[in-house]
């Protein structure tokens, strides 16, 4: 598959980097000469074409007529849409995916994707981030939530706290409790000091670890009681948002629809006034969250969660740490540089959301071979989860999983039979043609996993 990526910002660059590590043919188009030169210098495996992504000549120079997929991810909606329009005329067979930020795709996205499509798929990173934060707020004690099989299986991350019932257990003890209670879950990753890996039976859960576990969504509340103390499982009813940009606006709308009380703190007076008009049932405050008057008068310390989603990640970190110092249960910060995530979480911030990482996963869904339904990228850990339909001829069907040779660090998290039965598997389970499967693997092995699933 030949892939053209338009725009070498955070999303375009990290998508290109992920694909180049898999030895895929990627061409990156960038209009900023300095940025293009930097990538040329740093990444020998990424070919860079300099020029305006909305210029047909530049698209042709990038190999449009021989490409299979166009990812338009510049910071300009107009450029992305124009590029897709020209691509639709010059190379009608190419699949076109566009990043859209300014346009409300919930209302108007269909104008781009209706048949005949100008764009085959639209990715809105800010809306995706808002939904991810909403999921964490609605699943108390979790710090990351990812759904599979149309919401029937969930992969959540849980920090091991001093008051965790499982603190000090090894994985053998966890397995024994799981069997005695009849709880269907599987620990996918264990993170210690920022390093993640598939856990071994002798690994011990300790304060400061983070574990990722997969379970049927309707059993999540039961599974959480094994790892989380009861006070941490209380539902969250009050949320304060710092930042009234697109993520803050979308999140406030979503929380309001779930009957969660919302306050927004926005420093810019004009934006605060617009938000007050758009969100009549939300309290909008103009100021800074570190302002004692606002914090005290509006009882911000009584919030269950404090979410900082401004465009300045330093402001976000400071605001969340300030709020956490008052005992707020959940602190969420938006980051724009993923390598900081492990450090930030050790500082006491519960959850970080990275728009570029969420978007990269969505774009990779259109790259992955076979019948891929979803992709979740854990860039900071070098791991990836894919959900796929297992076709007839796949090399993993017909044998117990314990007999299937998988790449090192690869684990099947869940299966869904064609009839709808959902299974959290052990080594005795056999994969059948037509099953849906969720697999976690190091990113360096993803092409091997694709070949294995597809029978290549």
Does the structure show a pLDDT above 70 at 370? no
Domain boundaries defined on the chain = 2-123, 141-233, 238-358, 365-454
323 and 300 Cβ atoms separated by less than 8 Å = yes
What class has domain 141-233? alpha beta
Q: Answer whether the bond into residue 380 is a cis peptide, omega within 30°.
A: no
| Per-residue confidence band for 456, with pLDDT thresholds at 50, 70 and 90 | very low
Q: What is the pLDDT of residues 253-312, one digit of tens each?
A: 999 999 999 999 999 999 999 999 999 999 999 998 888 888 888 899 999 999 999 989
> Where residue 204 falls among pLDDT bands split at 50, 70, 90?
very high
Q: How many whole angstroms separate alpha carbon 86 and alpha carbon 312?
A: 34
**CATH number, domain 2-123:** 3.40.50.720
d(CA 160, CA 444): 28
In the block, tokens 């639709």 appear at 88
Tell me the average pLDDT of the chain: 90
Q: Do 2-123 and 238-358 have matching folds?
A: yes
Tokens of 447: 């092409």
Give Cβ neighbours of residue 407 (< 8 Å, ≥ 6 apart).
Answer: 441, 442, 445, 448, 449, 452
Q: Any idea which fold 365-454 has?
A: Alpha-Beta Plaits (3.30.70)
Q: What is the pLDDT of residue 342?
A: 63
What mean pLDDT is predicted for residues 49-76? Answer: 95
- Which superfamily is assigned to 238-358 in CATH? NAD(P)-binding Rossmann-like Domain (3.40.50.720)
Residues 207-261: tens digit of each pLDDT: 989 999 999 999 999 999 999 999 899 999 999 999 999 999 999 999 999 999 9
Bridging pattern class, strands 25-30 and 2-6: parallel
């Amino acid at each position: 598959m030949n892939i053209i990526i338009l725009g070498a910002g955070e999303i375009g660059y990290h998508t290109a980097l992920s694909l180049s590590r898999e030895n895929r043919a990627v061409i990156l188009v960038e209009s900023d000469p300095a940025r293009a030169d930097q990538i040329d210098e740093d990444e020998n495996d990424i070919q860079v074409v300099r020029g305006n992504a909305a210029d047909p000549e530049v698209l042709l120079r990038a190999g449009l007529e021989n490409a299979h997929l166009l990812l338009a991810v510049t910071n300009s909606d107009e450029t992305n849409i124009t590029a897709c329009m020209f691509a639709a005329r010059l190379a009608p067979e190419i699949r076109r995916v566009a990043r859209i930020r300014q346009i409300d795709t919930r209302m108007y996205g269909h104008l781009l994707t209706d048949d005949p499509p100008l764009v085959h798929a639209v990715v809105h990173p800010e809306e995706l981030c808002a939904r991810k934060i909403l999921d964490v707020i609605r699943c108390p004690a979790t710090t990351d939530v990812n759904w599979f099989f149309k919401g029937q299986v969930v992969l959540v991350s849980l920090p091991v706290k001093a008051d965790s019932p499982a603190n000090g257990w090894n994985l053998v003890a966890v397995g024994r409790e799981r069997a005695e209670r009849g709880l269907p879950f599987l620990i996918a990753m264990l993170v210690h000091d920022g390093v993640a890996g598939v856990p071994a039976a002798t690994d011990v859960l300790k304060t400061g670890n983070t574990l990722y576990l997969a379970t049927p969504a309707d059993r999540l509340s039961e599974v959480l009681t094994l790892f989380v103390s009861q006070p941490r499982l209380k539902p969250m009813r009050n949320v304060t948002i710092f930042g009234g940009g697109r993520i803050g606006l979308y999140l406030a709308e979503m929380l309001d629809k779930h009957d969660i009380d919302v306050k927004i703190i926005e420093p810019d007076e004009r934006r605060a006034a617009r938000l007050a008009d758009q969100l009549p049932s939300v309290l909008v405050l103009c100021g800074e969250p570190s302002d004692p008057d606002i914090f005290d008068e509006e009882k911000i310390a009584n919030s269950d969660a404090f979410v900082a989603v401004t465009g300045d990640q330093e402001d976000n970190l400071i605001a969340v740490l300030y709020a956490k110092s008052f005992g707020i249960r959940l602190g969420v910060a938006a980051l724009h540089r993923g390598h900081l995530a492990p450090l930030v979480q050790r500082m006491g911030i519960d959850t970080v959301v990275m728009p570029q990482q969420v978007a990269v996963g969505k774009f990779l869904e259109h790259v992955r071979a076979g019948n891929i339904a979803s992709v979740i990228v854990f860039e900071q850990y070098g791991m990836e989860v894919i959900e796929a339909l297992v076709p007839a001829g796949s090399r993993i069907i017909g044998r117990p999983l314990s007999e299937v040779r998988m790449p090192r660090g690869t684990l099947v998290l869940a299966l869904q039979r064609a009839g709808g039965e959902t299974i959290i598997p052990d080594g005795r389970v056999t994969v059948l043609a037509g099953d849906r499967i969720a697999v976690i693997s190091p990113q360096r092995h993803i092409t091997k996993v694709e070949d294995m699933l597809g029978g290549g």
